[in-house]
Amino acid sequence: MKTIKNLDIKRKKVIIRVDYNVPIKDGKVIDNNRIVSSLETINYCINENAKIILMTHLGKVKTEEDKNKNTLLPVKEELEKLLNKSIFFSHELKGKDLEDKINNLQEQDILLLENTRHMDYPEKLESNKDVELSKYWASLGDVFILDAFGSAHRAHASTYGISEYLPHAIGFLIEKEIKELDNIKDKKKTIILGGAKVSDKIGVIKNLINRTEKILIGGAMCGTFLKSLGYEIGKTYVENEKIDEVKELINTGKIILPIDAITENGTKLIENITKDETIFDIGPATLSRFKNALNKTELILMNGTMGMWEESKYSKGTEELFNYLSEIDAKVIVCGGDTGSASKFYNFKPYYLSTGGGASLEYLEGKSLPALEIMED
């Protein structure tokens, strides 16, 4: 796979697909890890006197209101601080105004384009890898660098489509991600999974379970597992169509589930949850159970938090788990933006922080990531 050093980018217009899908609150970036992780590639391009065009998505855009909400202007401000350099911004993703901005770029200039998913409304042109959009975006540059590992499992116009029409290579961030994940791919590990949907993780669980010591399930996704065992889990999110698959996974003996939870009515044993309650966090007994399972574990992979950690009354499970992981002698790999944000918030320093969530898990699964696959051509 070609890396950025294998391409001649001197004084060329370089399109870099970065991953700036970062949490923003009150118009400010509250976790800049993914932006910081992109700086090595950007600075390399600056040193090569390239004209740099940055593209990224932010959240999902399904309505006109989403366009206003999911703007990259706060990211522009954060990037300027980190680079100590003014950068240009294009509100347009297509048309004369954008083309003029690009034609006026001088060497070492940087232009950040607005959220690529603005092209998903009213038609899903970005997410459906629209051919004309891919060709148009490719026409804006001379070479394409993919450095968005967190989006490498998406075959979108900006991650995959541009590559079909320009010389392309991976950036330093993706090179580092692949190296680190390859190191642990075939090693036995314990996995901690959270999040809302079983459907997002079930393929990973199935494909990694034979190379896994144990899999600890927290977050709202535990609802589907617990319901498959006949428990009343109230208003907790459930994917009923996954019940049978989940039962098979439990039968492997490697799945460890919560035995108590924090609901809107406080701490409840799982068997005592009523139909009007919701699981928002793991309880203290579950935390003890998880600690015992993690004791003497050499390698831990974590994707997802144990509950709604942004709310202080439902944050204890996630916070205490990170505290425990800090105390034990294990290599902890944290995967994903939300998990990474939580680890940073609780001052947990993992052995490795991957910028990918779903992409990291799919890569470890052995799945081919479309945006990386085309890079191998």
Torsion angle of alpha carbons 62, 31, 20, 155, nearest 10°?
Answer: -70
User: What's the token pair of residue 49?
Assistant: 């006197």
Instruction: Give the helix/strand (H/E) hosting 44.
Output: helix 39-47
Order of strands across the sheet that contains 260-263: 266-269, 260-263, 281-282
- The total of other beta-carbon atoms located within 10 Å of residue 206's CB is 14
Residue 167: is the preceding peptide bond cis (ω within 30°)?
no
Order of strands across the sheet that contains 13-17: 88-90, 110-113, 51-55, 13-17, 143-146, 168-170
List the catalytic residues: 34, 197, 337, 358
Contacts of 168 (CB under 8 A, 6+ apart): 2, 7, 143, 144, 145, 146, 162, 374, 375
3-state per-residue secondary structure call for 303-322: ECCCCCCCCHHHCHHHHHHH
Question: How many residues belong to the chain?
Answer: 377
3-state per-residue secondary structure call for 346-367: CCCCCCEEECCCHHHHHHHHCC
3-state per-residue secondary structure call for 127-139: CCCCHHHHHHHHH
β-strand pairing of 168-170 with 189-193? unpaired
Burial of residue 372, with CB atoms counted within 10 A of its CB: 0-12 exposed, 13-18 middle, 19 or more buried: buried
- In angstroms, the Cα distances linking 148 to 54, 62, 317 are 11, 22, 30
Contacts of 362 (CB under 8 A, 6+ apart): 153, 203, 204, 369
